[in-house]
Amino acid sequence: MKKFDKLIAVVLSVYVLISLVLPILFQSINNEESSEYKVEINRIYLGLVKGSTFTEPNLSSYEYIKSVAFLPEISRPSNEELDKFYKSSNGMEYEIKPWYDGDNLLGYLRFNYINRKVHNSFLLKVELVLFMFAVSMISILLYIRNSILKPFNTLSEMPYELSKGNFKEDIKESKDRYFGKFIWGINILRESLDHHKVKELRLQKEKKLLLISISHDIQTPLNTIKLYAKAIAEEVYDTNEKKILAAKQIQEKSLEIESFVRELIKTSTEDVLDIEVVDGEFYLKDLMDKIVLTYKEKCNLKMIDFIVEDYNNKLVKGDLDRAFEVIGNILENAFKYGDGKEIKVSFYEEDYCQLIKIFNTGGIVSQNEFNHIFDSFYRASNSEGKQGNGLGLYICKGIMKKMDGEIFAECEKEGMSFTLVFR
């Protein structure tokens, strides 16, 4: 802001300086031009006085002198002739010089000329135009300062505050055409982050209570297993029937512990899929335009052939933003695990459903790994050394189900493909 204020001050200073310099500059031009017509008068006068009779001079080479008139001294001119001689012609200025032949006065020469002085009215017009220009420039700069830079400066601290977890400070909403919607979006983001923070704290509390409860529940069957295992190890049971009964008890308690673990895993993954999905509709073209705009340039930079085949624009069921998230996740996996040669998006229609198939070249996973690629926290052997948490495809599957759709994977000859089904 301070630098911009300095810019406004500089513009104002330049205007004041020019306003002061212009009159001086125009005055110097006037002085220069006022001496030029006198030079021409003297040149013509010297040419005329060399003779004793007046001859109309050729004025084609002169810039200022437009005509020369002669009033003889010998004759007695009438008042009408005198008025005509001394009267201004066509708004031109004139200068009168006496013509002598020795000591004898022959008459008077009148030189009509145009003096191209910059009049005060013209200078005033220039000053007025300059003033209007300066006012316009300063008004624009002040508008930029107050309507764009000042609100932006107010908002500049908000991302930093959000990064520190300060979600309580609200920003006053504005109808500003540039930042009104942005301020509204920042407030929505702040409220969303605050909501998720409260929700996260609640989930953490519930998880701790669940872990304490399950730990307590697991302890009982675990003690039973330890007891039977110790009895078997110390050969307390003298018959096979008793040993088999003990083994069945161990198996039963193991299944009980397994159910507790399954419940724990289910609870841990349910909050991962707590994603809001809008039950609506969107056009296929809107989705693909967004995909192409986001990933076309990225593929060009990575030198990957990004092919989007022709399709018919259809109205499909689902959430545009979540559908974009699903396809984006698959494309990011293609960048990460593919061989960087080709990504192709194809379109099909089947049983009143719109199918989008995303294929990328590269290595495929084993059959055993393929059976688990949609499981939570599962990462195949080709993910070693690559960032990730094994939740991407699991979340994609959950989102597609919430949109009443489906997602399928397929190992092909030259790579992997994922097919999304939209109603």
pLDDT of residue 166: 62
Helix 120-144 vs helix 2-48: crossing angle, to nearest 10: 170
pLDDT of residue 260: 75
Domain spanning 281-422, CATH class: alpha beta
Rounded-to-integer distance, Cα 288 and Cα 301, Å:
20
Q: Does the pLDDT value for residue 291 go beyond 90?
A: yes
Mean pLDDT of 303-310: 94
Rounded-to-integer distance, Cα 308 and Cα 20, Å:
65
Give the pLDDT band of residue 289 (cuts 50, 70, 90).
very high
Q: Does the pLDDT value for residue 8 go beyond 70?
A: yes
pLDDT top residue among 377 and 338 = 338
pLDDT top residue among 47 and 284 = 284
Rounded-to-integer distance, Cα 180 and Cα 294, Å:
26
173-192: per-residue pLDDT in tens? 556 556 667 777 777 777 77
pLDDT of residue 179: 66
CA end-to-end distance (rounded Å), the chain: 53
CB 44 within 8 A of CB 68: yes
Rounded-to-integer distance, Cα 403 and Cα 398, Å:
9
CB 418 within 8 A of CB 357: yes
H helix or E strand, kind and range, residue 418:
strand 415-422
Strands 353-361 and 281-283, sheet pairing: unpaired
Give the pLDDT band of residue 29 (cuts 50, 70, 90).
low
Residue 173 zone, left/alpha/beta (φ > 0; ψ -120 to 50; rest): beta
pLDDT of residue 249: 83
Q: Does the pLDDT value for residue 272 go beyond 60?
A: no
pLDDT of residue 167: 55
pLDDT of residue 322: 92
pLDDT of residue 380: 61
Mean pLDDT of 262-277: 67
129-140: per-residue pLDDT in tens? 888 888 888 888
pLDDT of residue 323: 95
What torsion, rounded to 10 degrees, do the Cα atoms 203, 204, 208, 211 define?
Answer: 60
H helix or E strand, kind and range, residue 343:
strand 342-350
Query: Phi and psi (nearest 5°) for 44?
Result: -70, -40
39-63: per-residue pLDDT in tens? 888 888 888 877 777 788 888 888 8
Mean pLDDT of the chain, nearest integer = 81
Q: What is the pTM of this model?
A: 0.48
Cβ of 133: how many Cβ atoms within 10 Å?
12
203-242: per-residue pLDDT in tens? 777 777 777 777 767 777 888 888 888 888 887 877 888 8
pLDDT of residue 174: 58
pLDDT of residue 308: 95
Q: Which of 14-23, 66-75, 290-299, 377-386 has the lowest mean pLDDT?
A: 377-386
CATH number of 196-270: 1.10.287
Written as one letter, the residue type at 377 is: F
Give the pLDDT band of residue 30 (cuts 50, 70, 90).
low
CA distances for 338 relative to 10, 300, 416, angstroms: 57, 15, 8
The first and second tokens of residue 57, run together, are 């001079």
CA distances for 231 relative to 86, 122, 159, 222, 234, angstroms: 146, 118, 63, 14, 5
pLDDT of residue 200: 75
Burial of residue 380, with CB atoms counted within 10 A of its CB: 0-12 exposed, 13-18 middle, 19 or more buried = middle
Percent of the chain with pLDDT over 70: 81
Q: Which of 114, 115, 106 is nearest to 48 (CA)?
A: 106
Mean pLDDT of 116-126: 67
Written as one letter, the residue type at 193 is: L
Q: Which of 392, 418, 423 is nearest to 275 (CA)?
A: 392
Percent of the chain with pLDDT over 90: 21
Q: Where are the domains of the chain?
A: 2-113, 196-270, 281-422
